[in-house]
Structure 1
Amino acid sequence: SHADMADDEIDYNIVFPDAGISERHWQGTKEPVVILLGWAGCKDKHLSKYSSIYNEQGCVTVRYTAPLKTVFISESFGYKELSSTALKLLEILYDYEVENSPIFFHIFSNGGFMLYRYIVELLHSDKQFSSLRLIGAVVDSAPGSGNVRGALRALRATLGPKISPVLRYVLLALFAVTVFLLRVVLYPLTKYVHKNHYDAVQERPPAWPHFFLFSRDDQVIRHRDIEVFVESLKHKGVPVDCFDFGSSPHVGHFREFPEEYALKCRNFLVACMKDSEGTELKKRHRVQNP
């Protein structure tokens, strides 16, 4: 299937660590591959600061940010464009022959989380990916529910400055009303056609451990949304941890608390590796000694 995708490539970055650093951190085990999914409108130079947290720990990193219009406009109208993006991202693992490595996610805001939702769905449903070894996910400033404001901000950015102010105003107003109707008022009906990311993952969460980093001062995502989500995952038996940075802005936790943030991510990754190795050994033991 790779040949017919050549015309429709996604714009990602992959970084392989220095072999010496990998060996020092992950003696004798395969180093993890960390997939970072940026927030909507995130510039790659910002995302690369986060990936260096993991490169310094000897991990392979893959960085990807979905385009604004895909995240908000396609999602708002239930057009599942991100689903094919999710598939392409998973196929990168095979292209670079790292599909047997432990895989770890670091996801930002609703933009990253919307894409994560489709990756999770593929991992639930597609036999091709059943052998991938997923060990955990860090979720930064997400997920939020019913985010009309975010969708509006995306449309404003997508329309750009060249459009006349009156037309922009009319389009934004129409868009706001339509999205509000589809995603909020009529959601009890439209969810049968297209569930939002929040409900989809909450209803069928993946089993690997999750670590939610958020702040009660976040002006974009309500911290209550995250707390309710965390409780729901706990209830379903998913190993969950969370940390409230308290004062930092939306996706600004690393900027405000760089050392603490990096340390929390690295410690969580190491814990996930240990858990996963334990599970792998048990599996092997079961196969050898039925």
Structure 2
Amino acid sequence: GCVTLRYTAPLKTVFISESLGYKELRSTAHKLLEFLFDYEVENNPIFFHVFSNGGFMLYRYIVELLHSHKQFSTLCVVGTVVDSAPGSQNVIGALRALKTTLGPKVNVLLQYFLLALFAVAVFLLRIVVYPVTKYFHKNHYDAMMEHPAPWPQMYLYSRADRVIRYRDVEKMVKVLQEKALKVESFDFITPAH
């Protein structure tokens, strides 16, 4: 059998902390990797399944720790499936994801206020000032293109996805293949996110 660790990042972390440049998911990544040693499975093959941008944000820090941390570099990672990710500077897709996450229980006026506030913040921080801020905090997309995982990866995506642009996924795959990494992809064409 397999040992499975599952983690879903909180709304605040994905849509606020990480969007504003706080590396909150880095400590989560560290804790998750420590769990592998706590469960004494560090010598077993490890496989990651990463879903959407929230999962990809966390995966970015896991990869960084596997590259840089002496204890974690001994883990035997055999591959990753990246499902419906990554997206790059897609404000509209991020707004759709946030609207879905907020759901119908949130007051409509509050929902639109939060969406407007988020859109302005992301536009300013991740598009307008990003050419300057990327020198001390790269977004997850650029960080993973620059320092990718060395193990095999499979990217699953759909052209009909309204949250993650298929062109972002295809660009990531192309860049990683140009680095001679074993990367494959599959476009499901019609399903949504």
> 1:228: which partner in 2?
171
Q: State the match for 2:98 in structure 1.
A: 154
Give yes or no for contact 2:93–2:162 (8 Å, CA) kept in 1: no
* 1:125 maps to 2:68: yes
Cα separation, partners in 2 of 1:179 and 1:96, compared to 1, 3 Å: same
Residue 237 and residue 249 in structure 1: after superposition, are their counterparts in 2 closer, same or farther (change >3 A)?
Answer: same
Structure 1's unaligned 5+ residue stretches are: 1-57, 251-290
Is the CA contact 1:69–1:154 (under 8 Å) kept in the aligned structure 2? no
Deviates more, 1:61-70 or 1:94-103: 61-70
| Equivalent residue letter for 1:132 | L
1:1-290 aligned at under 5 Å gives the runs 58-152=1-95, 153-154=97-98, 157=101, 161=105, 165=109, 168-250=111-193
Deviation at 1:168, TM superposition (A): 4.7
- Listed one character per residue, the Cα deviations across residues 128-153 of structure 1 (whole Å, up to 9, x for unaligned) are 21211111101111111113235434
Shift of 1:158: 5.3
Q: 1:75 to 1:130 in 2, by over 3 A?
A: same
Cα deviation code 1:218-249 (max 9, x no counterpart): 12111111111001001112101111112121
Give how far 1:64 is off: 1.3
Task: State the distance in 1 between where 2:101 and 2:178 align.
Answer: 38
Deviations 1:18-46 (A, max 9, x none): xxxxxxxxxxxxxxxxxxxxxxxxxxxxx
Mapped contact 1:156–1:172 kept (Cα < 8 A):
no
The alignment of Structure 1 onto Structure 2 pairs a total of residues equal to: 192
Cα pair distance change 1:159/1:131, threshold 3 Å = same
Aligned residue for 1:284?
none
Q: Is the 8 A contact 2:50 2:80 kept in 1?
A: yes
Greater helix proportion: 1
C-alpha separation in 2, matches of 1:244 and 1:162: 34
RMSD: 2.0
Measure the CA separation in 1 of the matches of 2:166 and 2:118.
26
Computing the radius of gyration from Cα coordinates, the structure with the larger value is 1
Report the TM-score, using the length of structure 1 for normalisation.
Answer: 0.62
CA 1:170–1:109: 2 relative to 1, 3 Å: closer
TM-score (norm 2): 0.91
Deviates most, 60-69 or 85-94: 60-69
Distance 1:216 1:155, change over 3 A: closer
- The structure with higher relative contact order (CA 8 Å, sep 6+) is 2
3-state SS of paired residue (1:220): coil
Structure 2: runs of 5+ lacking an equivalent = none
Following the alignment from structure 2 to structure 1, what is the Cα–Cα distance between the partners of residues 152 and 32? Answer: 21
Equivalent position amino acid for 2:126 in 1: R
What is the rounded CA distance, in whole Å, between the counterparts of 2:186 and 2:106 in structure 1?
Answer: 42
What is the distance in 1 between the residues matched to 2:94 and 2:71? 33
In 2, Cα distance between equivalents of 1:137 and 1:239? 11
Q: 1:174 to 1:156 in 2, by over 3 A?
A: farther
The separation in 1 between residues aligned to 2:100 and 2:115, in whole angstroms, is 7
